[in-house]
Amino acid sequence: MNSNFLQLIIAGFGGQGILFTGKLLAHSAMLEGRDVTWFPSYGAEIRGGTANCTVIISDEMVGSPVVKNPDALLIMNDASLQRFVPRLKPDGILIMNASLIKSSPGRSDIEIIRIKATDVAGELGNPQAANMVLLGALIGRTGIINVDTACSTLREIISERKKDTVQINESALRRGLQELRR
């Protein structure tokens, strides 16, 4: 995978921090001088249905935020796996939350990284940080941004009411890198 260009779809259900994960990744890449798009899906998804966003990171200008066939998927739940895995490019990367997804992607032409992200985040003290565990794994696998940039960006963009979760989220990002190596 080219570490200078990435088309990604992040998906799960509302409340799993899907849109925040995409925003954090895009903002971090922007701070590293990259061209980015972040395209969230709003609507009924916010109320507990499937939520998703696309992120494109490039060293060149991005022409469109639309991603038909992504290079990578970061998937938090089974419904999102079923919806988006058919669109993943051959030889693409699927990073999935094995704590919540029990079904198989049903493809042999992609790289599949299964991480029990909810369990890992629970060990750190907050199961809701599962999105950060998977993001850490994505960063480790693709090298698309530096994890230190993601941690500093996290402190910058997290809402005031969630400032108390910064430390756990940073730990979850770094733990995602470690889980990738297991």
Res 3: pLDDT: 61
Q: How many domains does the structure of the chain reveal?
A: 1
Q: Whole-model pTM?
A: 0.94
Res 44: pLDDT: 57
Q: How far apart are CA 149 and CA 114, in angstroms?
A: 24
CATH number for the domain that contains residue 96: 3.40.920.10
Q: Is the pLDDT of residue 2 over 60?
A: no
The domain of 143 spans: 5-180
Query: pLDDT exceeding 70 applies to what percent of the chain?
Result: 95
Model confidence pLDDT, tens digit, residues 33-72: 999 999 997 655 455 677 999 999 999 998 888 899 999 9
111: three-class secondary structure by DSSP: strand
Query: pLDDT exceeding 90 applies to what percent of the chain?
Result: 83
33: left (phi over 0), alpha (psi -120 to 50) or beta: left
Q: What is the H or E stretch that residue 156 is in?
A: helix 147-157
